[in-house]
Structure 1
């Protein structure tokens, strides 16, 4: 069974962040190893979340124990997500280096969680700067939403073609979520070989956590030896089906998480020219 190390949030009653990613990976037969960056009771969007950020020293000690157990050399991938402090980001950077040294084949996936359309920056500027300076250079793949990719590239992301162009600016293989194309919503995967969009009809509303789920499903696909374009189709399909299964709820229920990587008839894939 492949294993994936997750450095991100744990939220008790909301299917978001690293906790949701761990559930999604486990359902797909990928072992999750979660190092939480925060311990919250609920999503902050609902009000005071309870709990608190995890001290960077605690994260470091947990990672050292995982490494001492010999697990770094067994990892298929690492996913980094939400961080509350620059010190946490520094811990994550050291962990990526340690994983790379133990297993050069492990994929390093950085979701630069910084903000979103209509909300703006929702981490401190110091955390956003640390993500860019310390984690992006180490990444094999970055997984921003469209707003975050705009911030990273300095380019507007208004459709799949502009998302692909912005991805070329950051010079990293990129999985971009929340890309609008008329009445369609989708995901763009771009690397040196080209760019592909996976599009599906826009829903009137989407629960929290769909971006986290997308990153987990795409990473799981790679860990299970799918090619990136196939992993894209399966990940976008899983998210589309999860949103449909949620039935308008504000949170993704566990039963919405796919237990296999499949293809949805509602998702279409197209190559992006240029």
Structure 2
């Protein structure tokens, strides 16, 4: 970071004992990039929900209120420069967030709120339907930045995104709900008919900047990528910019640099995955069933710690930035 402004993030999202999703995916990269991070775990599970067995509990609204009351009583709310929220999964808990955001901004009017409205992907919800209006009507009006995927963006905007025209309409509709910066983290446009290509799409209302960045679709299933991207974007947007004075070029640079780092993390993860699965095959016949399924899922967990150098170095040189191009539309 280029100045001495204090950066402390209150990060409210899921936590897993094993693996890297939610706060486990976000905290370490933010710390490496110079941020103090206070994780508030709205969900505490043994592992992510893709595993055959999941144990744990969700934070009740009253428990969230107790934790934030403790922060308030000890004068800590005013220390936060950023609020990051991700997967919560319950409308009742999400409905307590507006009061918290208002309390945080009463202490620090320059607070930046990045909201990742985690609801589903690939055309399917994995939260109750009553979560959608809470995000749309209560939280988007308070957020500075939102990072939905393509499915979530369509839900919130009330439109199916299939072309550049419908993409532009969705971005406009999302701005009308409140956020100044909308970053759709991944979307496939039917009008392009290129299954191997995904796009990031972003719109920054203050600078009237709107662009997409194409990137290749990875083989395999990776969890926690959206959580990691949101954390990286938060940090990279803030580099060298005073809160509230982000330019369109700042947005383009941050999105490209975040994608570069994501690519490096997935490269590290894929390399480890190949090695882990080779070891698993060498032990084939030992167990099977759910045990083998869990072992395969473990091999796909994001290589967060192994990617330390990429969080620090990636994108600092011109050679990295040639991999992705932000194209206005």
TM superposition score normalised by structure 1: 0.91
- 2:301 is matched with which residue? 251
Q: Which one of the candidate residues 212, 228, 234 is aligned to 1:213?
A: 228
Contact between 1:164 and 1:272, CA under 8 Å: does it hold in 2? no
Bigger drift between 217-226 and 39-48 goes to 217-226
Matched, 1:202 2:217: yes
- The CA distance in 2 between the partners of 1:152 and 1:36, in whole Å, is 25
- 2:182 is matched with which residue? 174
Q: Secondary structure at the match of 2:25?
A: helix
What does the per-residue CA deviation read over 1:246-272, in whole Å, with 9 as the maximum and x for residues that have no partner?
A: 014421022135432632357312323
Output aligned runs, 1:1-274, within 5 Å.
1-118=6-123, 120-158=124-162, 162-171=166-175, 172=179, 173-180=181-188, 182=194, 183-192=196-205, 193-226=208-241, 227-247=250-270, 248=273, 249-254=299-304, 255-256=306-307, 258-260=310-312, 262-263=314-315, 264=320, 267-273=323-329
What does the per-residue CA deviation read over 1:158-193, in whole Å, with 9 as the maximum and x for residues that have no partner?
A: 356643431111113211112236332232221221
From the superposition, tell whether residues 64 and 205 of structure 1 become closer, same or farther in structure 2 (CA, over 3 Å). same
Contact between 1:108 and 1:141, CA under 8 Å: does it hold in 2? yes
From the superposition, tell whether residues 222 and 87 of structure 1 become closer, same or farther in structure 2 (CA, over 3 Å). same
Contact between 1:21 and 1:212, CA under 8 Å: does it hold in 2? yes
Runs (5+) with no aligned partner, structure 2:
1-5, 242-249, 274-298
What does the per-residue CA deviation read over 1:43-69, in whole Å, with 9 as the maximum and x for residues that have no partner?
A: 111123211101211111112222333
Q: Which structure has the greater CA radius of gyration?
A: 2
CA RMSD in angstroms, aligned pairs only:
2.0
- The CA distance in 1 between the partners of 2:36 and 2:86, in whole Å, is 17
Runs (5+) with no aligned partner, structure 1:
none
Give the deviation of 1:223 after TM superposition: 3.1
Bigger drift between 199-208 and 263-272 goes to 263-272
Q: Secondary structure at the match of 2:81?
A: strand
Give the deviation of 1:8 after TM superposition: 0.6
Q: Which structure: greater strand fraction?
A: 1
Contact between 1:234 and 1:262, CA under 8 Å: does it hold in 2? yes
TM superposition score normalised by structure 2: 0.77
Bigger drift between 37-46 and 196-205 goes to 196-205
